[in-house]
Amino acid sequence: MTGILLALRNVAISYGGIRAVKGIDLEVARGELVCLIGTNGAGKTTTLKGICGLLPLTTGTIEYDGADVTGRPAFELVRKGLALVPEGRGMFGALTIDENLTMGAYARRDRPVIAQDVERVFALFPRLKERRKQTAGTLSGGEQQMLAIARAMMSRPRMLLLDEPSMGLAPLMVQKVFETILDVAQEGVTILLVEQNAKLALDVADRGYVMESGEVTLAGKASSLLHDPKVRAAYLGEAA
């Protein structure tokens, strides 16, 4: 793990007259799995949308792979290897698993290799291979989350942004999804994980940031944050 792949400097984002993100700094090194935790409304999803070019910054800069990408459109960033798995998964419900995966590779030009990558993601997600001709709208929530990650992997990302992958899933499926996230990280993909389940996120991450009311209030090694009294009281349901 060498060098910083993603860096946010004094990033602020406003929409609807609300300053949702208030001048945060955040870094992710190559090969790291970093989590961003906090309650609903803390500004986590807004931060991811700002990184991906889906929301404009009010102030600050975003650097990715050594270049200033502030204000670059989302499709350009996908071509540079930055992919988002959005909250709610965003499936093409009427398309099959195979067709959703093809859509994930829409920005690529190396058509002969795409079929190989389909088999690569099926190795990560054998359940999807069994159902490859099934329409996405008929899958369970956990299967849809797997497909959302697999579809993002089809763009051959160097960095994956994951927004609330455990949301709405049964505990057993949450465990499977997080096992898969670790598998993806072990393939060398850098990950920034936004997750309300603080314990889950800190258990798998190398480092973490805690966000409250649009500001980063704590940052450090995930193992240290997991044992921080403030984090345990606010996010793990323990008495301070």
Q: Are 59 and 12 in contact (CB under 8 A)?
A: yes
- The answer to the question of residue 83 being in a domain is yes
pLDDT band (50, 70, 90) for residue 239: low
Q: What is the pLDDT of residue 238?
A: 60
Separation CA 154–CA 118 (nearest Å): 7
Number of domains in the chain: 1
- The answer to the question of residue 153 being in a domain is yes
**How high does pLDDT run on average in the chain?**
91
**6: phi then psi, degrees, rounded to nearest 5:** -130, 135
Q: Are 19 and 12 in contact (CB under 8 A)?
A: yes
User: What is the extent of the structural domain holding 197?
Assistant: 33-54+71-235
Which residues are registered as beta bridge partners of 33?
191
* 134: CATH: 3.40.50.300
- The answer to the question of residue 27 being in a domain is no
- The answer to the question of residue 22 being in a domain is no
Q: What is the pLDDT of residue 237?
A: 65
- The answer to the question of residue 10 being in a domain is no
**30 class by beta-carbon count within 10 Å (0-12 exposed, 13-18 middle, 19+ buried):** middle
Q: Could you tell me what percent of the chain has a pLDDT over 90?
A: 63
What's the whole-model pTM score? 0.91
* Each residue's pLDDT tens digit, 124-176: 889 899 999 999 999 988 889 889 999 999 989 999 999 999 888 888 888 88
Q: What is the mean pLDDT of residues 90-106?
A: 88
